[in-house]
Amino acid sequence: MARIAFIGAGSVVFTKNLLGDILALPELHGVEIALHDIDPDRLATAEAMARYVARERGASPAISASVERRAALDGAEYVINMVQIGGHAATLLDFEIPARHGLRQTIADTLGIGGIFRGLRTADHMLALGREMAELCPRAWLLNYTNPMAMLCWLVYGGTPTRNVVGLCHSIQFTVEHLAKLVGVPGDEVTFLAAGLNHQAFVLRFERGGEDLYPLLDARIESDPELQRRVRVQLYRRLGYFPTESSEHAAEYCSWFMAHDDEIERHRIPVGEYIRRSEENLAEYERVKGSLERGDAMSLPRSNEYAASIIHSMETGRPSVVYGNVRNTGLLPGLPDDCCVEVPCLVDATGLHPVAVLDYPPELAALNRTFENPVELTVRAVLEERPELVRQAAMLDPNTAATLTLDEIDALCDELTLAHGDALPASLRSFGRAPGVPAVGVGSGAS
């Protein structure tokens, strides 16, 4: 039976959800579950959770746990990656230092200065993971859940021998469910097509039985002033296609919102939102750990994550369709080759097969390219060992560029480089500047 490695299994609640999905499928009751985390306490909690889920599902998987990543990877057919390198402490750096320089962020895990440095401090892990998979489980599929999605998937397939890489997210599923509720149509009656970049994809078709549901959505929005106070509704009204990512994410991927006090108030943008979520995650871990120790019952609702569907289709041959983040090999012609794009994928016993969306609207591709520019430069900074590309990625980030001057961006990059230190790839720990660019005061925006 298939061996599934959970890398970063100490993300216990997410581990519970994925295991609950996998072990709800009778054909997967006998899988091997290999858990890995570098934190022994979290690993022990993840193992207890795995055994609890197995009992509740009436399944009998073989469960192992190891602080050594290689032990978990050895012989795996599926590798689920869900790490957060640096944890809560690194998240605080990514928010507090930019805030001192006058740069506001909401989530900071995908784009912007926070996304760039989160990608950099996760880079060594991703490259090591890809190389170890090529050695220990060369036919395995990497199912990546870690952000920044587009950067990290690209790092693996662009910088290691591992090619079976797909990034998984729930933003498309949640968005379509949300839209169905807004227009009063049962979700199981909706058909749709979406494509773009992870966290900046769009619903291209939204239908029921061949009927276009967008007119119903338009009427719903026009009747509700509160709906109009959402960032992604404003993007939809101007671009004609509904964005698949939440407003708090979408606000920091553009230049039009975060730099303006009145726009933050008008669209109810939650500045610093991810700090609150990160603190809640820490508290939730302690709560779940306590429940396991006391033997409390926990609910195991099915989620809409794609990992279980992918594994089930590959193991049984029963086809399914998911949305995956994969290498752009002509799948979206308006975007650069090799960048990581989000498109529909057919999954069966032969693997995961992305579907090209050849008529992707040019206006969406144009917006995507402003997102993709800092993604590509961050990936190149790592793979080409060029620290100057880090600050150039920040220069081209829409929110950062709308808020800070070039000198301020230089100072911010210098301070974050110092703060993250050894967490960054060794080649990127220096202050990379193009010839003739003077040094600026590190931490000049600090109080």
Positions annotated as catalytic residues are 170
CA–CA separation, 341 vs 327, rounded Å?
Answer: 6
Q: How far is CA 176 from the centre of its chain?
A: 18
Question: Pairing between strand 141-144 and 242-243?
Answer: unpaired
Residues in contact with 47: Cβ distance below 8 Å, sequence separation at least 6, in sequence order: 35, 63, 65
Most distant CA pair in the chain: distance in Å?
66
Compute φ and ψ for 20, nearest 5 degrees.
Answer: -60, -40
Q: What share of the chain is helix, strand, coil (3-state, %, to 5)?
A: 50, 15, 35
- Scan for tokens 């397939």, then name that residue: 157
SS3 187: helix
Torsion of CA 317, 321, 141, 44, to 10 degrees: -100
CB 300 within 8 A of CB 20: yes
Ramachandran assignment for 38, one of left (phi > 0), alpha (psi -120 to 50 degrees), beta (any other)? alpha
CA–CA separation, 271 vs 293, rounded Å?
Answer: 36
Helical axes 231-239 vs 214-222, angle rounded to 10°: 130
Of residues 357, 366, 300, the one with CA closest to residue 324: 357
SS3 129: helix
CA–CA separation, 376 vs 152, rounded Å?
Answer: 11
Beta bridge partners of 191: 207
Q: How far is CA 371 from the centre of its chain?
A: 14
